[in-house]
Amino acid sequence: MELIQAASPAHVAQARELFLEYAASLAFSLCFQGFDEELQTLPGAYAPPGGRLLLAHHAGQAAGCVALRQFENHICEMKRLYVRPVFRGKSLGRMLVDRVIAEARRIGYERMRLDTIESSMQDAIALYRRRGFQEIPAYRENPIAGTLYLELVL
C-alpha cells in the first residue's frame, strides 16, 4: 500500500472519483457543504501549504483517500476519509488517518476537527476514538441528525 499526495491531474481525478463514491455511499446529500464546488475546484482548500489530499494506492489502483484543510488559525479539519469496499479490513483507514494526523502536525496545526454521522459511521468513529479524538460541541452547521463533532489535540 502506498500513500501519496494527490498533486498531478491524474491523481486529482482519482481523488474526485473517490469523493463521488464516498458521497454516493451516504444516505444524505452533501450539498449543504458545497460539495459540487469542492469537486470542481479540487484540490482547492486541500492543496498545500495548509491542506493535503492523500490517496492510498494498492497495486496501481486508487483504494482510498482522506483530506485535510485549514479551519481556523492552528486548527485543521479532516474530511472525506473513504476506503473502497474491496480494500476494507486491511487497516487502510487507520493508515490514512495516521498519515493525515502526521501531516497536520508537520504543517504546525495544534488541533484537528471533524464531523461524522453517529448512526452510519461506527467503524470510522471507533478509529477516531482510538486515535484520541474527543467529542466537542458543534463547531459548524450540519443539518444531518446525529452529527458527532470530534477534535484531536495534536
Dump pLDDT digits (tens) for 83-104: 999 999 999 999 999 999 999 9
Q: How far apart are CA 145 and CA 143, in angstroms?
A: 6
Name the residue ranges covered by the structural domains of the chain.
Answer: 2-109
Supply the pLDDT for residue 26.
66
Q: How far apart are CA 116 and CA 86, in angstroms?
A: 22
89's CB contacts (< 8 A; 6+ apart) are none
pLDDT for 32 beyond 50: no
For 2-30, what is the mean pLDDT?
84
- Which residue has cell 486508487? 62
Q: Are 50 and 107 in contact (CB under 8 A)?
A: yes
C-alpha cell at 140: 459548524
CATH number for the domain whose boundaries are 2-109? 3.40.630.30
